[in-house]
Amino acid sequence: MQQKIIILDFGSQTTQLIGRRVRELDTFCEILPYNKFPQDDPDVIGVILSGSPYSVHDKEAFKVDLSQFVGKYPVLGICYGAQFISFANGGKVEQTGTREYGRANLEQIDLENPLFKGFEKGSQVWMSHGDTITAIPQDCHVIASTADVEFAAYASSKNPLWAVQFHPEVFHTSQGTLLLKNFVVDICKSRQEWSPASFVESTVKDLKAQLGTDRVVLGLSGGVDSSVCATLLNKAIGKNLTCIFVDHGMLRKNEFQKVMDAYAGLGLNVIGVDASEKFFKDLEGVSDPEKKRKIIGRDFVEVFNAEAKKITDAKWLAQGTIYPDRIESLSITGMTIKSHHNVGGLPKEMKLQLCEPLKWLFKDEVRRVGYQLNMPERLIKRHPFPGPGLAVRILGDITREKVRILQDADDIYIENMHEYTMPDGSSLYDHVWQAGTVLLSTIRSVGVMGDERTYEHPVALRAVTSQDAMTADWAHLPYDFMAKVSNEIINKVKGVNRVCYDISSKPPSTIEWE
C-alpha cells in the first residue's frame, strides 16, 4: 500500500506548489481535477481542496459534492476550498469591497488545535482572496484570526475537517510547511515513506516487470528529465534501452560532444545524430518565432523516427515526462484542460507503447532521484534549456554564423557563472534557475574598438530566479561578475560590441525572448 494525499484542483496557480510541499514531507500525493475524486481508493489518507480564481458566487464556479470525502478522510480546505466548504454547509461568504491580498499575521491562534501545533503567535500568512467568510457552519469553530479576517481558519467539531483562508503552500506564509506537516503527518498519519531511494527501488522493480526483455527507444535532449529517465531505465533493462540524441545544430557550444561523453560515462547506449544540415536548410530565411519552433519540432520528429525505425524490434517509446506536464490544470475559464505533452508523429506501423518512469515526479524530485542514481552533478543541476535551442534566442533568421556568435557569447556567460563563487561557497550558476544569452541579430549598434568604428550586434544576458518557471524574477547578479562577462564577450566574440542585461520579470515578460 502506498499512502497518498489527494489534492483537488479548483484552478489555482499554486496547486502544484501544494503538491510539492506534500512531497517534501516524503508523502505521495496526486493532483486531480476538482470533480475527479477517486472512489474506493484504499491508499487515500487525506484530501486537500485548493484555491481557485473564482468566487463561490460565480455562475462558473467549480463545485463538488463534499460528501464524497468529508467525514471519511481528514480534509483541509485552502482559500477557495475553505470558502466553498463554508458556503456549502450553511456558512456565509461575502464580498467585502476590498481584496485581501498580501501578508497578514495570525493574532489569535488556537494552539491546542492539532493543525496549529508548534505555531507562534503573530505568525505571518499570505492572503489572496476577494471574498471572505463572514459566518461558518454550525458544527465549526474559529481556530485562527487576523486583524482583518475573523475566520482566517476554522475546524469542524463533528468531522476531521480544517479550513484556512490563507495559503500555507507559499513561501510568504512563514510556518506554512509546519501547518501542512501537522495535517499530513500528524492528522492524516502519513508514514513518510516517499523518498528518492524508495522511488528508485520500486520503479526499477516495476520497469523490469513491465518491460521484461523488450527493446525501448528514448529521445534524449541533454536535459535533466530525459537524462534521469535514461539512467533509471538503464538500471532496469541495461542494453535493451537505445537512446537517440539529435543535434539540430543549435545546442550550446560543444554541447553535443559534452553530453555524449557524459552519457558514455553513465554507460548508456546512445546513438548521436548530427542533423544540423537539415535543420539549417529548413530554417533558412525564417524569422517568425512560431514558424521556427514548428520547423524544428517537425524536423526533430522526422530525424528521430528515421533512427527509431532502424531498431526494428523496439516495442516501447520512453519519455522523460514529469508530473507537472501531465496534471490536468484548469484555466481561469474552466474550459481548457492542459494535457501532458507527448512525442507526436511516430509512424503507426511502429506500434510503440509509451513508458514514462518519471510521470509522478516534480522537477526538484527528478534532481533528487538523479543524485540517488549517482549521476554527474553538472548534468543534474543543468538549467532548463528550450527544445528549439538557440534558435529562439536569436531574434530574426537563423544562420550558422549567428549561431556561432551566440554560442561563443553564451559559453563565456555560463562558464563564468559556474566559476564565480558565492559567499556560501557554491557557484553563481546554482543560485539561478535559468540563464542564457540572446542575440539581437536584427539590430546593429555603433561601437569603437581601438581606433576603429564598429557596427555590430548587441547581446542580452538573461538570468532569472524561480521555483517552477510559472513566475520568475530577474536575478540580481554581482556587478563584478557582470563587468567581467561583458568585457570578455566584447573582447573575444567577433560580431558583438555591446552587452545588455534583461531586468524583466515574469509576468509580464517571459523567460525566453521568443
**Rg for the chain, CA atoms, rounded:** 26
| Cβ count near 333 (within 10 Å) | 10
| Cβ count near 295 (within 10 Å) | 19
Catalytic-role residue among 169, 307, 356, 514: 169
Catalytic-role residue among 129, 167, 248, 457: 167
145: which 3 cell numbers?
484570526
Q: Which candidate, 252, 187, 177, places its Cα nearest to that of 25?
A: 177
Per the CB < 8 A criterion, the answer to whether 319 and 309 are in contact is no
Judging by DSSP bridges, how do beta strands 161-164 and 215-220 pair with one another?
unpaired
- In sequence order, the β-bridge partners of residue 29 are 5
Whole-angstrom distance, CA of residue 361 vs CA of residue 29: 10
409: which 3 cell numbers?
557569447
Angstrom distances, CA of residue 90 to CA of 75, 352, 469: 18, 53, 39
Per the CB < 8 A criterion, the answer to whether 105 and 124 are in contact is yes
453: which 3 cell numbers?
568604428
Q: Is 167 a catalytic residue?
A: yes
Q: Is 100 left (phi over 0), alpha (psi -120 to 50) or beta?
A: beta
Judging by DSSP bridges, how do beta strands 75-78 and 270-274 pair with one another?
unpaired
Whole-angstrom distance, CA of residue 425 vs CA of residue 432: 15
Catalytic-role residue among 29, 79, 188, 355: 79
Q: Which candidate, 224, 242, 196, 194, places its Cα nearest to that of 355?
A: 242
Cis previous bond, 458, omega within 30: no
| Cβ count near 425 (within 10 Å) | 6
Q: Is 355 a catalytic residue?
A: no
DSSP at 51: -
Active-site residues, by number, are 79, 167, 169
